[in-house]
Amino acid sequence: MSLAISPAYCVATYRCYDEKADFHKKATGIAVGLTVGSWTELPEARKAEMEKHLGRVVGVDVHEPSAGEPASARYADIRIAYPDMNFSRDIPALLVTVFGKLSMDGRIKLIDLAFSESFLSAFPGPRFGIEGVRNLLGVHDRPLLMSIFKSVIGHDLPALREQFYQQALGGVDLIKDDEILFENPLTPIEKRVELCMQAAAEAERETGQKLLYAANLTGPTFGLVEQAKKAINAGANALLFNVLAYGFDALSELSRHPDINVPLMAHPSLAGALYPSPYHGIAANVLLGKLMRLAGADLVLFPSPYGSVVMPKEENMAIKEALLTTEAADYIYGAPASSHGQVPLAASFPVPSAGIHPGLVPLILRDFGGQVVVNAGGGVHGHPMGAAAGGRAFRQAIDGRQAGVPLREYAADGHPELQEAIDAWGIKE
Amino acid sequence: MSLAISPAYCVATYRCYDEKADFHKKATGIAVGLTVGSWTELPEARKAEMEKHLGRVVGVDVHEPSAGEPASARYADIRIAYPDMNFSRDIPALLVTVFGKLSMDGRIKLIDLAFSESFLSAFPGPRFGIEGVRNLLGVHDRPLLMSIFKSVIGHDLPALREQFYQQALGGVDLIKDDEILFENPLTPIEKRVELCMQAAAEAERETGQKLLYAANLTGPTFGLVEQAKKAINAGANALLFNVLAYGFDALSELSRHPDINVPLMAHPSLAGALYPSPYHGIAANVLLGKLMRLAGADLVLFPSPYGSVVMPKEENMAIKEALLTTEAADYIYGAPASSHGQVPLAASFPVPSAGIHPGLVPLILRDFGGQVVVNAGGGVHGHPMGAAAGGRAFRQAIDGRQAGVPLREYAADGHPELQEAIDAWGIKE
């Protein structure tokens, strides 16, 4: 049968646990139920018309429990292709189609997404991406360094300015607001940004170094653009955003808004409600990887595998891959796995966060390579010689590592801040 | 110590699983870490200033595994009070504060929320609520009946109009779009609404009955108000909204927008990514109960405990309670449990959905009482005599039940549509 319109598909991969289910039947039920609704009872003439709307089962890989595994370990990875003409070119429509009702249907987790070329083409992706962020900072030859305000709630403007200045003096490339700092009478965003950007300029005269300040974009959804403009007008040269509290589409629209011409940093706030269960939710590589990049995050924070808030290493690597890959086959359903196809989205900076101290820098760079933002809070502010020294210790660790010198050796060679950090927190390699 | 400002608190309850943790220490860590950041090392003078921003441990109930339970069954319910001056009066700020970073911190689930009176006062809640919806329909003496389009994707306007008309003829009170029907060239919302509302008027001349049509509100976040207005201008007298794909705040703002003067129906799409795990996510009573009502949903769909997409009965009852309760102590932290305090929000209609047929009506009414919307898709369209008969069978089941007549008896007494439904699907009581 020839089709008048050749459908293009977005593909969702699910992991379904069930001790007894006929997974092939379940897959067909999904493919039909979430698209045309019913199929076998349709008259032939209708089938011809409806076929372009019909979902397809692309794969069913059943994992039968091996000896020693309980029956509950039985699962299947099911891949369903959804015609993209069934939904509009936005992430809510995609997610509602592929995992709206289905999310409530037993033990099922969304573990991967691939997009049709036409769906993907509706997304400009990160406006800056890794290269753009590097261009703004004029730093191309090393991993970046970010620090986080220590405590912000209840502090007044002079206190925040001083915290900011000390961090900036340490040579960090980026400073981000705490994600729980909302509009408040003590430190309203336009005042906070103005003072902190003055501190940045002051520090730049000392360090010779540019700096991005990601101010926290909060408040009512329909006022986000105005709030962003207010921050930008006050001098903010980046914005932090709690994406999952607002939905991916808000990020997607912010990222393509002509007046919001600064990098957007995605915070993973609330992500732990979605990714950790093996049986439910949305896997980290989709949630904090592909969808963040698709929605235009220039930088993406996620829990590091090193610290107090942990994520398994392989999930971290899957997020990194999703943010950085140029291989079209990873993003586009039907794209050949070859060196020719490119992901038509700029790469997003991975920012593994939580529990980071200078002694972890070699490990971070080994795991993530050079395209990473080393991000620390306590590891900067808790430095025995203060926050500025904390930043310097990280920069020294990065420089030492870039020079190929072992950390202890580099520290001993006239880098007392790094030495102090190692004495305090050790080295993990 | 006397405080210049007496803080008011919103309280989050978490269930934390951990085989060995000192749960009291963990609770203190949350209360401090998610508010002022650090406490013990603060100078006394700062403590006086900061105390109004400090979170408080309200309760730690440890469940030690009993004999026969594995060590992994050890958990604690931890209640933390967060000063509401720490966050702005919107749901993203509240959720990011109480469960942003914390959601990623091991096995922890948000199982309840109570609000300060001042936080709550920022939310008008459902504009219509149960009474308002009943007033629009002129129906005050029985549960309502809703039906869902059967299949919509790939169907043209005349086909949808005909489906709508058949459903309306059956005497349903509400008809909702399928949540996966997005803007599309075949059935754009303004054309669809116009034709379906014509069909509604036509059916009303037959049935004498009013009807609400909840058209699916979709598309870009920042265009939702315009899209809603387009639907309303075309005649839509209700809107369906995939709340979790956009965040609670979008619903909250839509519900208080002066031009969106129709009931809002919240779809639970994607909720299964959040509520089912015992170890992660947000419990159904919070996600589909309190937060939906707070955000202004007039009607809230959720998976029924009866059908194919199931939710445990006690979770269903907890949602119902959250949507209906008038007891202030359920919503306001510090409110006395008494008959005097009222929840300052209209009640939202519970709409248990999936797998509903007429033979379940007695059970639904026993579980939910009279303030419920009986909602069916296949139970209407799959009726052996067609969709109009399907609607009638439900209305008969409701009428019979209201009259106190057993269903089989009522069916035999001149209600052939109900009889056919019982023959097809049986009765479950």
* Chain B residues in contact with A105 (beta carbon < 8 A): 272, 308-309
pLDDT score at A17: 97
CB atoms B272 and A280 under 8 Å: yes
% pLDDT > 70, chain A: 97
B367-399 residue pLDDT tens: 999 999 999 988 989 999 999 999 999 999 999
Task: Enumerate residues 41 to 70 of chain B having a beta carbon within 8 A of any beta carbon in chain A.
Answer: 49-50, 52-53
Strand order in the sheet with A280-282: A56-63, A75-83, A9-17, A108-114, A280-282
Q: Domains in chain A and their CATH numbers?
A: 9-121 (3.30.70.150), 129-425 (3.20.20.110)
A72-123 residue pLDDT tens: 999 999 999 999 999 999 999 999 999 999 999 999 999 999 999 999 999 9
Q: How confident is the model at residue A185 (pLDDT cuts 50, 70, 90)?
A: very high
Compute CA A201 distance to the chain's CA centroid, rounded to the nearest angstrom: 29
CB atoms B277 and A277 under 8 Å: yes
pLDDT score at B1: 41
% pLDDT > 70, chain B: 97
The rounded distance, in Å, linking the Cα atoms of A311 and A284 is 9
The rounded distance, in Å, linking the Cα atoms of A377 and A391 is 10
Q: How many CB atoms lie within 10 A of CB A160?
A: 22
Given a cut of 60, whether residue B3 has pLDDT beyond it is: no
| Cβ proximity of B288 and B275 under 8 Å | yes
Q: How confident is the model at residue B309 (pLDDT cuts 50, 70, 90)?
A: low
User: Cβ contacts of residue A132 below 8 Å, gap of 6+?
Assistant: A126, A263, A298, A346
A295 interfacial to chain B (CB closer than 8 Å): no
Q: Which of A38, A100, A242 sits opposite B92 (nearest CB)?
A: A242
pLDDT score at A311: 87
Beta bridge partners of B146: B174, B375
- What mean pLDDT value characterizes chain B? 94
pLDDT score at A259: 96
B371 interfacial to chain A (CB closer than 8 Å): no
- What mean pLDDT value characterizes chain A? 94
pLDDT score at B338: 66
Q: Which of B95, B250, B309 sits opposite A104 (nearest CB)?
A: B309
Angle at Cα B351 formed by Cα B349 and Cα B357, nearest 5°? 140
pLDDT score at B311: 87
Given a cut of 80, whether residue A340 has pLDDT beyond it is: no
pLDDT score at B7: 77
pLDDT score at B45: 85
Report long-range pairs for A153-159 (Cβ below 8 Å, ≥24 apart). A153/A178, A153/A180, A153/A181, A153/B35, A153/B36, A153/B37, A153/B53, A153/B86, A154/A186, A154/B36, A154/B49, A154/B50, A154/B52, A154/B53, A155/A186, A155/A187, A156/A186, A156/A187, A157/A186, A157/A187, A157/A191, A157/A192, A157/A195, A158/A195
pLDDT score at B2: 43
The rounded distance, in Å, linking the Cα atoms of A1 and A382 is 68
| Cβ proximity of B404 and B177 under 8 Å | no
Q: In terms of C-beta density within 10 A (0-12 exposed, 13-18 middle, 19 or more buried), how is residue A399 classed?
A: middle
Given a cut of 90, whether residue B236 has pLDDT beyond it is: yes
pLDDT score at A173: 97
Q: How confident is the model at residue B414 (pLDDT cuts 50, 70, 90)?
A: very high
The rounded distance, in Å, linking the Cα atoms of A360 and A374 is 9
pLDDT score at A179: 95
* Chain B residues in contact with A380 (beta carbon < 8 A): none
**Best of B5, B36, B104 to mutate (most A CBs within 10 Å, chain A):** B104
pLDDT score at A43: 85
Q: What number of CA atoms fall less than 13 Å from residue A123's CA on the CB side?
A: 32
Query: Rg of chain B's alpha carbons, rounded to an integer?
Result: 24
Can you read off the two tokens belonging to residue B416? 């052939």
Unique residue bearing structure tokens 């315009």: B226
Nearest to B213 by CA among B253, B256, B262, B257: B262
Given a cut of 80, whether residue B218 has pLDDT beyond it is: yes
B39 interfacial to chain A (CB closer than 8 Å): no
The rounded distance, in Å, linking the Cα atoms of A322 and A331 is 9
* Chain A residues in contact with B387 (beta carbon < 8 A): none
Q: How confident is the model at residue B339 (pLDDT cuts 50, 70, 90)?
A: low
A139 interfacial to chain B (CB closer than 8 Å): no
A273-301 residue pLDDT tens: 999 999 999 999 999 999 999 999 999 99
B54-93 residue pLDDT tens: 999 999 999 999 999 999 999 999 999 999 999 999 999 9
The rounded distance, in Å, linking the Cα atoms of A279 and A30 is 17
Given a cut of 70, whether residue A222 has pLDDT beyond it is: yes
Nearest to A177 by CA among A134, A224, A130, A231: A231
Given a cut of 80, whether residue B359 has pLDDT beyond it is: yes
Q: Which of B92, B153, B225 sits opposite A86 (nearest CB)?
A: B153
pLDDT score at B151: 82
Which helix (H) or strand (E) covers residue A253, if one does? helix A248-255
Length of chain B: 429
Residue A302: closest C-alpha in chain B: B104
- Nearest-CA distance from A409 to chain B in Å? 33
Q: What is the 3-state secondary structure (H, E, C) of A18-80?
A: CCCCCHHHHHHHHHHHCCCCCCCCCCHHHHHHHHHHCCEEEEEEEECCCCCCCHHHCEEEEEE
The rounded distance, in Å, linking the Cα atoms of A226 and A246 is 15
pLDDT score at A3: 46
pLDDT score at A39: 85
The rounded distance, in Å, linking the Cα atoms of A27 and B392 is 34
CB atoms A249 and B249 under 8 Å: no
Point out the least confidently predicted range of B257-271, B274-288, B374-388: B374-388
Average pLDDT for B344-367 = 95
A284 interfacial to chain B (CB closer than 8 Å): no
% pLDDT > 90, chain B: 87
Residue, of B210 and A339, whose pLDDT is higher: B210
